[in-house]
Structure 1
């Protein structure tokens, strides 16, 4: 069987690295479901420097304000407006678009975070598969969603609702629908500019055209809900075989004997050292533990007038999955990102979540409902409270049973 040509579109924006990786071109063999890489080409592009700075500014401001609990949605809209402008810039790049058309792909795989990818697939006139990197709810792609037991995004409800919970879910549905419309309408000018009148797509309709939706979640984590045949759970898809941790970390863990250690990571989007008071409270809380603490936090950015707790080891980078698989781990302190939670569930490690923005609060609602751990609001983060929560999860046999 001849190899099938696949276009993978990704473009999640991160400050300080390539802001838009427009396309990864892959050729894979589909015979016997064995994947064989024939060729791999990366096409990268950047916005003009002034627009690049503007996008970075909005992104960084969104993160900072979200961390301080202010104007999250309004700042998110401004950030998405920059993505819409970026989309228009990409579609106007005839060199890139012509190159993609000439490749004659059989299938396009899109990352659903940026709606631009759906417009590119439509422009190419190719069938596409969408990847939902978060759990359900924050994107409406046509699944049946009975409001009596399927929580709407931002409702912070579980699938067990009383009467007032259902009222809240019903009202949240209208708020969510309006916000979805607002975000999608940001791409209206892009659509008018790059699609001829009479054949202009509607973004909400494009979401329904996906041949398949791969959802980065699992039945063990998500609440029960109706699914369609083209919706497939792929939570844990990024999991890799674990390896022994580096000797440096093994030596640190050994110091604490049967007490074990706690792993702390707050994701790649937030530089925790930029938020001095939160960092001090967390550091003080860790000092109360008898366990060792391995904390992903840049030592070079650590405030000089704050002493790192004696039982804490700071790491610029760490092998998260390998540490979660370590037999001496007792707890995972996390921001509640989807991939981190999937890895913790895979290795049976209980969690204390400190959600900041996006889907993280919703994720931690599920973690608590499933008895995988507990959550603490960022605005309530004090050393005593965090220490108490961590000790609760480490000592409580319900969580030990999960681990």
Structure 2
């Protein structure tokens, strides 16, 4: 019996490059070996270059939520007052996380599908006297893209610490920590970085690093304490193994390989490719007659697209039909979880993935009773991609 290959189009985990899979399948070396130290050092160097950060990068066993928690407990204390900008489920998660540690939280909840207003953020920072700003670059639940560059600039001008959740953006959208005034950026391996789940990544600017060193009233933690990890990172930066807790060796080696692929393609081309693929999906979905969750094109993320279901289309039935056609997309999250679906188009998504996914969406919608002119969405995507030129943007 032939095994069925699924096209995985969820917003993480993603499809992996053969060289990344090969690296994952190699025998696991000692975490104290020089070979592993070399790979760890390379991964940290590439991440610093990717994020343009002048401080340190920490790579821990864990996921995006752990990275969020690590960021909070190391640079805040119980006297901190943080403004959390929420554009979806993961902005809410930041607020819940900080509240659980006793931090004074002011939450700006944007309407579903809307991005944060610069004026609203500035006004709240001033009125509430906040000393930190927490926000998502892209909220994976809504596919809303925040203007991190301008929001962080305003916060820094007001003397605030800035913390950005880059999980659904890093590796697919530019993130310039030094240039944009981002003090802490958290991300994870399983999205545009192109590595299986299991790595929590925390990048600190030099300012945040100095705050870490001097924060005697930091929130209590042990594994998540970057004070415990700092000497380990500094040792691996010199290519010398060190131990605090056993790292996920194969995942870090795979991350080193995946980052090398990103830089071989070139950051500009990587970001252009993600933008083009995202636009192709949006044009196709709108041509089919679907409505996107982000309320304007300017705040649509290049890495994933969240789409409202038409009246009468049932989530379980629609996604079940898609799966039977060999395509897997994600359901919704949060208060509207049954009313929309999400397509991930981050990492190495190529022409075949795009066209196959759109064709499957058309067929599944048609079988669910929604009137679709089969092929119109596919044609819209093809037209855009052909005009842009398929090479060298596709694999």
TM over 0.5, shorter chain: no
Name the TM tier (shorter chain): under 0.3
Q: Which has the larger radius of gyration?
A: 1
TM-score norm. by structure 1 comes to: 0.26
TM-score norm. by structure 2 comes to: 0.26
